[in-house]
A and B are shown apart, each in its own frame.
Chain A
Amino acid sequence: IAGITQAPTSQILAAGRRMTLRCTQDMRHNAMYWYRQDLGLGLRLIHYSNTAGTTGKGEVPDGYSVSRANTDDFPLTLASAVPSQTSVYFCASSPLGRVSYNEQFFGPGTRLTVL
């Protein structure tokens, strides 16, 4: 079934540890995005990639890094996790780079708790 997969589903992490959240899509979409969802704040864009080999910063990029080595994968790395990074993380993709024109397709999310 075509779509976006995220791993892990949930994770509890000690502060200071490094963590990579995985995201894979099989729709051959050019653009991919990482959001975090926090109660009362909605979804906020962390990083995005309009095409393989390029990335850009979103609204809340500090403490996170991404890479886009190929079309399908867009991992999000927390180099040294802090409790304020406790959140639900969603990966999304869209067919073209201009998000304004295209529907974004979302993965099921990763619930991350940093203690």
Chain B
Amino acid sequence: AQSVTQPDIHITVSEGASLELRCNYSYGATPYLFWYVQSPGQGLQLLLKYFSGDTLVQGIKGFEAEFKRSQSSFNLRKPSVHWSDAAEYFCAVGVNTDKLIFGTGTRLQVFP
């Protein structure tokens, strides 16, 4: 069965530090991969997506993610975190049955 794993429930970083959020998926074919962000009390907003081609994708707000087929991973990165990046981040995989499967999320806390 398809699944998405975000192993880190909660991450704390200092403002200006680099960030990497982990995402691993289980899917038999090449997946369509997404990262969404949810600010407190808000709905989800798409950060970036990977369908094919270049395995390093750029998104909004200075985020990027790299698809590594050999590791079944799609980790999200940002070189310098801002206080406004504090939110919950969801990785998701799109499968060919009209479903989007979400991970359980990683809550990011940013200290000044």
Known contacts A42-B105, A43-B90, A101-B51; is A106 also within 8 Å of B43 by CB? yes
Given A56-B98, A100-B32, A100-B96, does the pair A90, B43 have CB atoms closer than 8 Å? yes
Please, what's the 1-or-0 string for A44-78, where 1 marks a CB less than 8 Å from any CB in chain B? 11001010000010110000000000000000000
Pick from A40, A59, A101, A103: contact of B46, CB under 8 Å? A103
| CB atoms of B98 and A48 under 8 A apart | yes
Report chain B residues within 8 Å CB of A50.
Answer: 98
Give residues 87-109 of B contacting A (CB, 8 Å).
90, 94-96, 98-100, 102-105
Q: Tell me if B45 is interfacial: C-beta within 8 Å of chain A.
A: yes
Q: Are B99 and A58 in contact (CB under 8 A)?
A: yes
Q: Does B11 contact A (CB under 8 A)?
A: no
CA distance A97 to B94 in the complex (A): 12
Interface size class of A (residues with CB under 8 A): 20 to 34
Q: Among the listed A42, A97, A108, which residue makes an inter-chain contact with B102, where contact means beta carbons less than 8 Å apart?
A: A42
B70 within 8 A of A: no
Decide yes or no: A108 and B49 within 8 Å by CB, A40-B104, A42-B103, A101-B32 being known contacts: no
Residues on A facing B (Cβ under 8 Å)? 4, 31, 33, 35, 40-45, 48, 50, 56, 58-59, 90, 92, 97-101, 103-104, 106-109
Residues of chain B having any CB pair with chain A under 8 Å: 9, 32, 34, 36, 41-46, 49, 51, 90, 94-96, 98-100, 102-105
